[in-house]
Amino acid sequence: MGRTIKTRGIIVGEAPMGEQDKRLTILCEDKGRLSAIAKGAKKPGARLASQAQLFYYCDMMLEESRGFWYLRESSVIESFYNLRQDIQVLAWASWMVETARELAVEGQDSKELLHLLLRGLKMVSEPMLSPRMTATTFVLRALSDQGLQPEDQRCIDCGRPLPREAFVSPSAGGLVCETCVKAHVDGMALSEGSLYTMRHILHTDPSILYKFQASAEIQQELFRFTRLYLHNYTQREMSSLEFLRNLGEIPGNR
């Protein structure tokens, strides 16, 4: 037997592996992103079949063997069952966990990212809140907390303070003024309400981060910026966005 570890984490990715097994991607508190094989997890009635599921937050025991980690035991803390009751909520939650999977680093403490995701998954199905706004809030704040915070106080090119309305450029990395925006093909207008909401997302205490409502205009502006800003970092299109397009939750154009 190889070494064994105990960890706590959330399953942020799963893929079939042969006829009976799954390859899991786990966001662990203390070990960041970790890949593990769940033997027999696709087999009905198997011990791990009900525990190795996307979104599940668990205490886990893993064993290393021949360079791979294997999930040996799992105790579910939270299954986030509500996410599966509404397909739109499920789609937005899928964008959240796919983003977490991209941002997490192997071997790096990810407690802040994990708990930001846990709070977001609890709030994304709240009937009084918009799942689009909750998911956008998670993605933008997660990028910020991972050292990728967009400039939100002054023009990133000339340094001019921008207290209210402004333009924003995903490729430049934040706000640009009405003069400098001409040099950025991806520059887009950001209303005063959207700028206020962006600053709330970037700077508010995580414990109350998600508890707000926003107009459709603000949601649209901030989602568009956040999606493009994330793409500028990952350099790939998230598969969960295609899920959202197919549901009509976001425009068909990329």
CATH superfamily, domain 4-78, is Nucleic acid-binding proteins (2.40.50.140)
Tell whether the torsion through CA atoms of 86, 210, 194 and 168 is positive or negative: negative
- Spans of all domains in the chain: 4-78, 84-246
Q: Once rounded to an integer, what is the mean pLDDT over residues 52-63?
A: 96
Q: Do 26 and 68 form a contact (C-beta atoms < 8 A)?
A: no
Please compute the mean of the pLDDT values over residues 156-169 and round it to a whole number.
92
The secondary structure of 12-60, three-state, reads: EEEEEECCCEEEEEEEECCCEEEEEEECCCCCCCCCCCCCCCCCCEEEE
CATH number at 84-246: 1.20.1440.120
Whether 65 has a pLDDT exceeding 60, the answer reads yes
Q: pLDDT class for 194, splitting at 50, 70, 90?
A: very high
pLDDT at residue 252, as a whole number: 76
Q: How many residues does the chain have?
A: 254
Question: Phi and psi dihedrals of 176, rounded to 5?
Answer: -135, 150
Full-prediction pTM beyond 0.75? yes
Domain 4-78 identical in fold to domain 84-246: no
- Paired strand residues for 76: 58
